Amino acid sequence: MKKAKKIIPLPFPFYFWTVAALAVAGVLDSIYLSISHYRVYTDIAYESFCAISRSINCDTVSQSPYSIFISIPVPVWGIIGYAFYLLFLTFAWSREAQKQKMWPILLFISLAFSIYSVILAYISTFYIHSYCMMCIVSFGINFLLLYYTWLVRKRFGKPGIIKGLMLDIGFLWEKKKKTIPVFLSFLCIITFLLISFPSYWKYSPPVLSKTILTGITDDGYPWIGADKPVLEITEFTDYQCFQCKKMHFYLRKLVEKNAAKIRLIHRHFPMDHNYNPIVKERFHVGAGAMALFAEYAQTQGKFWEMNDVLFAIAGSTNVLNIKKLAEKVGLDYRALSYSTKNRIIRYKVKHDIAIGLKLGINGTPGYVIDGKVYLGQIPPEILSIVLD
């Protein structure tokens, strides 16, 4: 009978630097995701390299409310988590650690990372319905960290995991002159971030000024801005579309600063499968009803108030509270509720969709300027005509 071949472990530095490289890769991946998250909300022309399709789209994941956790973007938490991991790893390299200490703690941290990855993957699958490629990279890093820390424990660890954990705590306490200042500084940084991190993902339109003109075109569409514009922009938008929201608020602020030059005309193009014939699968549920509410508000002289509120709340909740919506805009709650059954209002929304399709619009936002259609965004050279 052959004896089992004894496994000779590779030198300890091989495992250590592999783990260190994975943690550094996690930091770099999180930095990229943090920058991408910031640009998604602040740069109207930004589109990440992995915005490939509806199901593989980093931008869609960034636009989700699930991308924020305790007032800080999830990728920023990733930077904090990997930095925390690296802090412990530095103590594992010391001679006093004897290749054994700190690895039980690192194993538990890696396990927490892996569990969090599973939770994020679940949210992407069943709530966001889209995946971020760079997030998947971080999931892989987390599982590899878990595997390699387990492997180090198996190769070099002697006591059981719980006993090893207690020894790690004792080891850190023995070095308290170094460990306490380091971890207190780290805690202070996190506290500072929680208190002062800018909420750049929270959009709000400019206050609807009484000095800004509003009106109705000859065809019956609401406009805001110049009575005799240098530049007239017709937007076809969806209240559940993030890019529509970002561009609309940008244009509203542009109109506010150039009220004598720009006129913005609004038309509806909800990508709601219940309203739009080009959408064959369940998508942007509720966008059609929101368009109907906006149309009803127009009949009451409250279109732009309703329009701004609908864009502001879109994406922040899965359930639209009609009563609160009516209160915010100053409309009768019952009349607003019944407006979704009004044939004339429903016809106007369907007519907008039909006109958009005739113009070649197959996604949102869409813009019509001087008879030309632009999808997604407006070329900067066109806007430069009116910018001071």
DSSP 190-232: HHHHHHH---TT---PPP--TTSEEEE-TTS-EEEE-SS-SEE
**What tokens were used for 166?**
């207690």
**Amino acid letter, residue 312:** A
Rg (CA), the chain: 27
User: Scanning the structure block, which residue is given the tokens 């995991």?
Assistant: 161
How far from chain centre, in Å, is Cα 244?
Answer: 14
Residue with tokens 């103590």: 91
Report d(CA 330, CA 170) in Å as an integer.
63
Q: What are phi and psi of 356, to 5 degrees?
A: -60, -45
Distance CA 228, CA 27 (A): 53
pLDDT band at residue 318, thresholds of 50, 70 and 90?
A: low
Report d(CA 271, CA 352) in Å as an integer.
12
Are 284 and 270 within 8 A, CB to CB? yes
Q: Name the residue type at position 29.
A: D
Closest CA to 243 of 124, 366, 350, 355: 366
How far apart are alpha carbons 31 and 35 in whole angstroms?
Answer: 6
% of the chain surpassing 70 pLDDT: 93
Over residues 39-49, the mean pLDDT reads 86
Greater confidence (92 vs 100) lies with 92
Cα 310 from Cα 222, distance rounded (Å): 15
Phi, psi of 237, rounded to the nearest 5 degrees: -135, 170
Residue 263 CA to residue 234 CA, distance in Å, equals 8
Q: Cα 157 vs. chain centroid, distance in angstroms? A: 41
**Cα–Cα distance between 326 and 311 in angstroms, integer?**
15
Give the global pTM. Answer: 0.82
Instruction: Read off the tokens for 45.
Output: 């022309």
DSSP calls for 76-111: HHHHHHHHHHHHHHHHHTSGGGTTTTTHHHHHHHHH
Instruction: Round the average pLDDT of the chain to a whole number and report it.
Output: 88
Which domains can be identified in the chain, with CATH numbers?
12-196 (1.20.1440.130), 213-383 (3.40.30.10)
245-262 pLDDT per residue, tens: 989 888 998 888 888 899
By the 8 A CB rule, do 135 and 60 touch? no
Q: Cis omega (within 30 of 0) on the bond before 277?
A: no
**Which stretch of 108-122, 218-232, 268-282, 371-385 has the lowest confidence by average pLDDT?**
371-385
Model confidence at 155, pLDDT cuts 50, 70, 90, reads confident
Confidence of residue 194 (pLDDT cuts 50, 70, 90): confident
**Rounded distance, CA 133 to CA 135, Å?**
5
As a whole-number percent, the residues of the chain with pLDDT over 90 amount to 48
Looking at the predicted structure, is the pLDDT value of residue 206 above 80? Answer: no
- The span from the CA of 82 to the CA of 91, in Å, is 15
Mean pLDDT to the nearest integer, 285-298: 93
The Cα–Cα gap between 26 and 179 comes to 23
pLDDT confidence band for 160 (50 / 70 / 90): confident
Q: Which helix (H) or strand (E) holds 356?
A: helix 343-359
Is the previous residue joined to 365 through a cis bond, with omega within 30 degrees of 0?
Answer: yes
